[in-house]
Structure 1
């Protein structure tokens, strides 16, 4: 297990305009060749709009090809979530694209009912843990952050990442919950959010951040636009878990899915 270099892309998203958005991200990717993992926001091609399904991707389509191109070019994993259509069903799907063009995915489990997301998308029912350079990574999406049981480290991950379109009105929740997930799970957390304003005049302030396993702030992007880099220390993670082994006293449980 070696140190892991992250790049967090925090930028505005043009509603329902995949072509524009994909081109805009490239501004921040051209110098990201020092990364092992590049993290984009939730629904990074469309934003969290009620009409995003009209611009849904299909597996292997334009956004998948774009991710594969940049993963190969940067020799890094590219990840973020997309609106994806399969037959007549739609998912808010995080895609984990590797440099060799292979990929896997995680479908958002907790759909934001206050915006009707549960009526537009199929709910995921499987957690995903992926391996990268010896690190075990748990990728999750936005509203999942509020559900600590789903996020619970069962000694199966080292880094949890959250991609989001999290409004400024609840920025305090985003900050506190992201930090809490790191503390309670003795793991790194990378939380990537957007900035700007959406089609409903709702503001997003970013606050993308990286937290260490004791909750220490390693990166805080505030409301700036750009690519933000952070290197995660494998030695720090190992030593902290050894010196403060709270994981040994964690409760066993069985997750019952509705």
Structure 2
């Protein structure tokens, strides 16, 4: 079992509905990441921005971006993760891809589509949670608006890292800060949140606030600018804190439906 895992958070502006250009820009950022990083996290819809017009994106770009993620993972010897616009038949998804260096792909479809922006009208919500074990750490990946719904993220799967990717606007970034910390505290897990910066085609501004919180809700990393950050997560921190403070043993039992 690995004792530590190193994560890179890539907080960047996004080029509106231009997958090829975004891939080029993210490739540059990925090339700057330290060689010992294990997981590289990109924002929500990193290849297009938070578009509500998926038909503006060629379907061929879906496969092209996934293939690019596989190539980047192979080249960097690190898992590349983030969400993109993805089509299956007549359905559109805001789909999270966890792509490992050996080509293995795990996916999660955003459960809570953002009704305020009409995401529910353009994208089909997911119904299944995902748990990915990588380098000895269990990751639970979620997407942006999912952050507001604690039942969906409740730590019933014994995960180590709760991982959010987002396009969370500056006007509500205080909620982002508060909820990331809350999710870490209530689930006794690391909580990693990767947001974007810049301004999108709808005039919305994004101030980042990508951050990492430890099992006790202490902030160990934070940024509000265009940059790549790296952090080491500790397995012993998780195990020792949970053993000392057995709060998860007192969880309410419940099941999810629908």
What's the TM-score, normalizing by structure 1? 0.96
Report the RMSD for the aligned CA atoms in angstroms. Answer: 1.3
Determine the C-alpha separation between the residues in 2 that align with 1:110 and 1:60: 21
Determine the C-alpha separation between the residues in 1 that align with 2:65 and 2:59: 7
The within-5 A match list for 1:97-108 is: 97-108=99-110
Q: Which residue number in structure 2 is paired with residue 61 of structure 1?
A: 63
Within the candidate set 152, 155, 162, 2:154 is matched to 152
**How many pairs align?**
256
Contact 2:62 / 2:86 at 8 angstroms: preserved in 1? Answer: no
Determine the C-alpha separation between the residues in 2 that align with 1:159 and 1:112: 23
Determine the C-alpha separation between the residues in 2 that align with 1:82 and 1:200: 18
Q: Which residue number in structure 2 is paired with residue 217 of structure 1?
A: 219
> Cα distance 1:84–1:155, how it changes in 2: closer, same or farther (>3 A)?
closer
Q: Does 1:203 align with 2:205?
A: yes
Q: Which residue number in structure 2 is paired with residue 232 of structure 1?
A: 233
> Cα distance 1:243–1:106, how it changes in 2: closer, same or farther (>3 A)?
same
User: Structure 1, residues 177-212: CA drift from partner, whole Å, max 9, x if none?
Assistant: 000000000000100000000001110000000000
Q: Which residue number in structure 2 is paired with residue 93 of structure 1?
A: 95
1:59 to partner: Cα distance? 9.2
Contact 2:14 / 2:48 at 8 angstroms: preserved in 1? Answer: yes
1:65 to partner: Cα distance? 1.0
What's the TM-score, normalizing by structure 2? 0.96
Unaligned regions of 5+ residues in structure 2, if any? none
User: Structure 1, residues 73-108: CA drift from partner, whole Å, max 9, x if none?
Assistant: 111111000000111110000011010112010000
Contact 2:69 / 2:80 at 8 angstroms: preserved in 1? Answer: yes
1:49 to partner: Cα distance? 1.8
Determine the C-alpha separation between the residues in 1 that align with 2:83 and 2:52: 16
Determine the C-alpha separation between the residues in 2 that align with 1:153 and 1:59: 34
Determine the C-alpha separation between the residues in 1 that align with 2:93 and 2:127: 12
Unaligned regions of 5+ residues in structure 1, if any? none
Q: Where do 4+ consecutive residues of structure 1 move more than 6 Å?
A: none
Q: Which residue number in structure 1 is paired with residue 8 of structure 2?
A: 7
Q: Secondary structure at the match of 1:61?
A: helix
